[in-house]
Amino acid sequence: MMIEADGFLPVNLLTGFLGSGKTTLLKRILSDPAFADTAVLINEFGEIGLDHDLVETVDGEMVLLRSGCVCCTVRGELATALKDLYSKRERGLLPPFRRVIIESTGLADPFPVLSTIKADPVLRHHFRAGNVITTVDAVNGLRQLDTYIESNRQAAVADRLVITKTDLADDRTTQALKARLRTLNPDASLVMATDADLDLSSLADMREKASLGDNLSPSGFYCEEWLQLVSADGAPHQTTISSIALRVDRPVDWTAFGLWLTMLLNRHGARVLRVKGILNLKGEERPVAVHGVQHLVHPPVHMEAWPSEDRASRLVFILDGLDGALLKRSFEAFTLARMPPVAPSLAAAQ
């Protein structure tokens, strides 16, 4: 089946620092009927694909969601993923989606993503830059802007700034964050994720356009200029960021795990940029999703079902200046010590 008279499909970029609420916003977007006919590309950071696992409706690398969206994981180059998507659309293997949303990783520099479309001769015949939607966490946002250049870049190139977690932050902090964002990016519209009246469709560039004249969005125009500005003297410097994935095959004791995580974040929260995972807890049929961002631990969420056959507990940590190998040893010592296969004294006697 061939698609008729295609225009240029807008590619919207959903970005924002680690744990700032990109996936949470994306889930809302995916369930909004206004976003039927949307293809969503999800990127991953870390050794195992937890982003992918944590979207409960996903099964495999490319799925059709009930809402009419196509959802895929980007494994290699973004340009390849976009071309693949377009070719499947043309061949009628996918519904004729009208727009794309890419969820970037929390540490992504938005500029290469935006320039991918402009730079690629094939892509620029089918796609155009849509909106950059940037989530900023009200609890951790100011500190992240002070410390990480990526956070500044993500905010500076945004067409839409979405402040999340205002329900967890005091009003003064939220106002200070707003003022800071306004200085970095006076033109973007600024909304609160918790606002009951938030019109999600106003965040993305929704329209397929027929003429090339429309083929440049403000972010496409101003991107390089802005990046130079926010990279100027006095801007935060890149630090040592690494990720570590942990895996435990035996069910985990929630109390032991909770204690270990609390101790870790009390002591090193500033250096634990993000922790997320899926846990197989002792005595629980369903998996539990855990999320933390620096000192903030979000309430654990019981998921409906395991997303795949794999029943192991899996955690990904993104660390700044903290030794992942040490963290792994501490986790293993702690969790294994609390759930020995046989009593240690018996094991020693054998």
Ligand X SMILES: Nc1nc2c(ncn2[C@@H]2O[C@H](COP(=O)(O)OP(=O)(O)OP(=O)(O)O)[C@@H](O)[C@H]2O)c(=O)[nH]1
Q: Which residues bind ligand X (CB under 6 A)?
A: 16, 18-24, 51, 106, 164-165, 167-168, 193-194, 274, 276, 291, 298
Residue (44 or 84) nearer to ligand X, CB? 44
Q: Of 22 and 99, which CB lies nearer to ligand X in the complex structure?
A: 22
Give the H or E element holding residue 222. Answer: helix 218-230
Least distance to ligand X, CB of residue 290, Å: 8
| Closest distance of CB 211 from ligand X, Å | 34
Of 79 and 168, which CB lies nearer to ligand X in the complex structure?
Answer: 168
Asked if residues 27 and 55 have their Cβ atoms less than 8 Å apart, the reply is yes
Q: Which residues contact residue 222 at a Cβ distance below 8 angstroms, ignoring those fewer than 6 apart?
A: 157
Min separation Cβ 193 and ligand X, Å: 5
> What's the angle, vertex CA 54, arms to CA 53 and CA 60, rounded to 5?
35
Comparison of 178 and 274: residue with beta carbon closer to ligand X: 274
Kindly tell me which of 147 and 164 has the beta carbon lying closer to ligand X.
164
Cβ of residue 144: shortest distance to ligand X, in angstroms? 11
The pair of structure tokens assigned to 61 is 């690398």
Four-point Cα dihedral 315, 320, 323, 328, nearest 10: -10
Q: Which is nearer to ligand X, 97 or 317 (CB)?
A: 317
Query: How far apart are CB 251 and ligand X at their closest, in Å?
Result: 22
67 SS3 class: coil
Q: Within 10 A of 253 (CB to CB), how many other CB atoms are there?
A: 17
| Pair of tokens at residue 204 | 């993305």
Which residue's CB is nearer to ligand X, number 9 or number 105? 105
Cβ of residue 147: shortest distance to ligand X, in angstroms?
15
> How far from the centroid of its chain's Cα atoms is residue 57's Cα?
17
In SS3 terms, 144-198 reads as HHHHCHHHHHHHHCCCEEEEECCCCCCHHHHHHHHHHHHHHCCCCEEEECCCCCC
* Residue 240, C-beta contacts closer than 8 angstroms, at least 6 positions apart: 320, 321
Smallest distance from ligand X to CB 292, Å: 8
